[in-house]
Structure 1
Amino acid sequence: MTGPDCLLLPVRLLRPTEETILARVREVVAMILAEQAWTQPICIEESVHALLDGHHRLAAARELGLARVPVQVFDYDEVELLSWRPEVAPTRAEVLARAMSGRLYPHKTTRHVFPPRPARPVPLASLTDRIGSRERASRAGLTMRALTRASNAGPALVPSRRHTSRSE
């Protein structure tokens, strides 16, 4: 069992299980830039790092060129698995297999319900690597000064409520 704190994991280690919608990814990028912080961790399964919630956030992180993202790691046995689509009844084994194979479900297929955990906003600058991030930051409409300024704000603990996945 993992602790309630968020971990910062490299983006490359996370395995999506669902497709994303480009327009939603752009909305999430805009929200992250407006806040200059990552406010909602991505939820992953502990054994293979399969995404259970946060597909659009992961795509936004990739678009922004972030090196790492805040995640909360769950034992899959403590997470309820449902489906947004009545014609699909995913199993945990199938979700993990899709994460490993890269054969993604359509967006909004799986629905996960998590036990409550605290979330910590993380300054955007602490999620980038300085090397190579200037070009990606520019493309995303950021300046390195804004990234550095954001990193000086320390993370604060924010209360969490029972979270129902919408695979953002």
Structure 2
Amino acid sequence: MPELPILSPSYCVAIKPISFLRRSEEVDDSEVRQLADRIREADVWTMPIPIDIQTGIIMDGNHRARAAILLGLDYLPCVLLSYRDPRVMVRSARTGAPFNVDEIYRRVVHDVEMLPYKTTRHDFAPALPCTEIRLGMLRSGGAGITPS
């Protein structure tokens, strides 16, 4: 019998209003400005931001989300996930040990405070998809954008 390939579950990428996203970690403002300049120059959004589907917590991409605000974008492509999804692994950026995601919910959802800069590292298996969306389409009135 021939061996069948193992298929991994696909990701859902949806256009979400930036107002739905919740920042989870502090950012480096100079890095945000440099990133915004690179994205503006390319005029295309290539990396969807993985978020918790229920809360809008940004899992990875706080700098990109802040750059989007500087660029005047109203919507962003997001990979819709859950912290309970087996494709998501969260570790401490400092020690590499598993990170308690309940701490993320406690601090971010309940508006206690954001995590310090580079507190967590998120790994996704399989790797997240890429996009190629013109920036003009991510602004209000963009051609054909229907946010989900």
Structure 1 length normalisation: TM-score? 0.71
Distance in 2 (alpha carbons) for counterparts of 1:52 and 1:98: 13
Instruction: Indicate the residue corresponding to 2:65 in structure 1.
Output: 58
Instruction: Indicate the residue corresponding to 2:132 in structure 1.
Output: 121
Instruction: Indicate the residue corresponding to 2:41 in structure 1.
Output: 34
Q: Does 1:19 align with 2:36?
A: no
Deviation at 1:96, TM superposition (A): 1.5
The amino acid across from 2:117 in the alignment is H
Q: Which of residues 111, 120, 135 in structure 2 aligns to 1:110?
A: 120
Q: CA RMSD in A?
A: 2.3
Secondary structure at the counterpart of residue 23 of structure 1: helix
The amino acid across from 1:73 in the alignment is L
Instruction: Indicate the residue corresponding to 2:106 in structure 1.
Output: 97
Moved more, 77-86 or 15-24: 77-86
Does the 8 Å contact 2:48/2:129 carry over to 1?
no
Structure with a larger share of its residues in helix: 1
Point out where structure 1 has 5 or more consecutive residues left out of the alignment: 131-147, 152-168
Deviation at 1:27, TM superposition (A): 1.2
Distance in 1 (alpha carbons) for counterparts of 2:49 and 2:96: 26
Deviation at 1:88, TM superposition (A): 8.6
Distance in 2 (alpha carbons) for counterparts of 1:55 and 1:22: 11
Deviation at 1:87, TM superposition (A): 10
The 1:100–1:37 alpha-carbon spacing in structure 2 relative to 1, beyond 3 Å, is same
Distance in 1 (alpha carbons) for counterparts of 2:47 and 2:92: 22
Does the 8 Å contact 2:40/2:71 carry over to 1?
no
List structure 1 runs of 4+ shifted beyond 4 angstroms: none
Deviation at 1:89, TM superposition (A): 6.5
Identity of aligned residues (%): 31
Aligned length: 132
